[in-house]
Structure 1
């Protein structure tokens, strides 16, 4: 099945492995990769660095910027892999309005494992103290989102196993980005 440009949005709470999986998918598929964190304005980063959770009014402009980037990539016929927490259905609806096929890959795991991962990483502005607020905000993928092709992935397997599962489940040709018609 040939699709227009496809956007794989690797979603989940901080520390779930979004960056690791996105980089591995990007390498396997040969698609452009972007970190949603790079789209945050300085004010958002400052808040999170101080342990202050973002509110919806902080997130909407950030999400619109991400959607617009995906649309620009699709206009050039490019498929993408993107990390984005996409914690709420409303956020995913906004991102889904990007041109092309948008598929969410929800990395799901227990709070204890995710907290351990967060404590082991260095140089990231999101402190482990914000994990409870992210878990409280998270709205899992709905049956409608799952029926549309989005996937819930247990974070326990190695990244290469998750990549293989995604490529197989979505019938993606490794090394060939679907082109816009």
Structure 2
């Protein structure tokens, strides 16, 4: 069986963690929340309402790629925003076999989800900057784009089935 390296990606509030945990469970591999790999300075910056810049993100994205490449022999699922192609390229530099599952939704749905998460470091005020930054997956990138209006279990099943069946 090939090693599975899956990134569940999207803007804040898209359900990356919820879906990613379920994909990992279906595939029988570990799950890592990419937010846990942010250096403390990044978390503090976002919590203060300041968007990260590319210099802030670069070491974090390399850590995501290293996690994908080396966490477990059978593979791993990581939740990570991976908003720009260049960010995904940084991840792929460390984990060339990474497959991306982009969770996509309307601003209204995403904002409502974010508002319902008390205590999360990412404020709703940063959603617009994330949406402006988002570069959807391109045709030459291994992955798929899914609508967050589907139930998390349905999203997880679709991703897991595609990855396990090598259809991405």
TM-score range normalised by the length of the shorter chain = over 0.9
Check whether the contact 2:84–2:135 (CA below 8 A) recurs between aligned residues.
yes
Q: How many residues align?
A: 166
- Equivalent position of 2:83 in the other structure: 87
TM-score normalised by L of structure 1: 0.87
Q: Which residue of 2 is the match for residue 29 of structure 1?
A: 27
Does the Cα contact within 8 Å between 1:10 and 1:82 map onto a contact in 2? yes
| Counterpart for residue 54 of structure 2 | 56
Aligned residue in 2 for 1:162: 155
Whole-angstrom CA distance in 2 between matches of 1:40 and 1:168: 29
Which ranges of structure 2 fall in alignment gaps of 5 or more residues?
none
Normalised by the length of structure 2, the TM-score is 0.93
Deviation, structure 1 residue 29 = 1.5
Contact 1:47 1:53 in 2 (8 A): yes
**What do you get for the CA RMSD once the two structures are aligned?**
1.5
User: CA–CA distance in 2 between the matches of 1:71 and 1:167?
Assistant: 18
In the aligned structure 2, how far is the partner of 1:99 from the partner of 1:67? 5
CA separation of 1:41/1:15 partners in 2, compared to 1, >3 Å: closer, same or farther? same
CA–CA separation in structure 2 for the residues paired with 1:167 and 1:46: 34
Q: 2:140 aligns with which of 133, 137, 144?
A: 144
Aligned to 2:66: 68
Alignment gaps of 5+ in structure 1:
174-181
1:170 aligns to what SS in structure 2? helix
Give the drift of 1:164. 1.7
Deviation at 1:30, TM superposition (A): 1.3
Match of 1:101, SS state, is: coil
Deviation at 1:171, TM superposition (A): 3.6
1:177 is aligned to none
Q: Quick check: 1:34–1:81 contact (8 Å CA) kept in 2?
A: yes
Stretches (4+) displaced over 6 A = none
Tell me how far 1:97 sits from its aligned partner: 2.1
Distance (Å, rounded) in 2 between the aligned partners of 1:84 and 1:33 = 11
- CA contact under 8 A between 1:6 and 1:100: conserved in structure 2? no
